[in-house]
Amino acid sequence: MRDPDALIARAGLRGDPERDQHFLVDDRVLDRLPGYLPDGADTSHVVEIGGGTGGLTDRLLSVADRVTVVERDPDLAAFLREEFAAEIAGGTLTVVAGDALEVDLPAFTASVSNLPYGVSSEIAFRLLPAGRPLVLMFQAEFAERMAAAPGSSEYGRLSVTAGHYADIEVVEAVPKEAFSPPPAVESSVVRATPRVPEYDVPDDESFMALVRAVFTQRRKTMRNAIRNTTHISGIDDPEALIEAAGGELMGKRAGNVPPGEFARLARLAAEQG
């Protein structure tokens, strides 16, 4: 395996915190990341967002039939093309220079990525709806919120929306020292195993809008949150929905409402509308 510090030296480029660049340089963490994919995961085409200097890319090439790396920094993309010229020529690696939020992502079977933290949420929600297994590095606080259960202090909109697409697990805590330069925050590795939710929703968009709306007023009861956020949820007749939902649910706060109950609310809202 290529040494991550040697890759940085060959690239002649240092990570830049101002540009959200923190290269993962701990060999042990890099070696473990591909192994967090669920057992039996299809690794015929793995996408990596934010290739950096290629430490993780190198590990992914050892387990995947084909890897596509998306790297927004043109200098880093050029270095990856030079460093991995043999793999590119052999058809096992493609380097895409561009912003992962803007480029067309290829059809992929899995993703393993050390995401740029400033846009990690947006990238995660580009990947999650694809219904593929993901192993992603996030800020620790963000990861805990993704995986949080109803009733916990971390449970919120992110927990519900991420859990709509996959089972979310925090599989490893990663210290600041594993990166160059070290970020200001601790990091965690999240595994997302796709699944069909145990509930039905009218459509993802209206479900997500309802969840987003009520969590903007998480300290209020669901009754008041629904009344106050129709401009976000798009609910036409909040009073009819409140009556149909029943007093027990409407007396709760959003942080204590499980995803299945949000789904029931979205169905009732669709019936009302």
Task: List the binding residues for S-adenosyl-L-methionine.
Answer: 22, 24, 50, 71, 99, 114
Contacts of 164 (CB under 8 A, 6+ apart): 197, 201, 204, 207, 208, 259
Compute the chain's Rg from CA coordinates: 21
3-state secondary structure of 166: strand
For 151, other C-beta atoms within 10 Å of its C-beta total 11
Q: Which residues are annotated as a binding site?
A: 22, 24, 50, 71, 99, 114
- On whether the CB atoms of residues 251 and 222 are closer than 8 A, the answer is yes
Q: Give the C-alpha distances (Å, rounded to integers) separating 130 from 48, 105, 123, 176, 196.
A: 14, 10, 12, 30, 12
Backbone angles phi, psi at 37, to 5 degrees: -60, 145
Other CB atoms within 10 Å distance of the CB of residue 251: 11
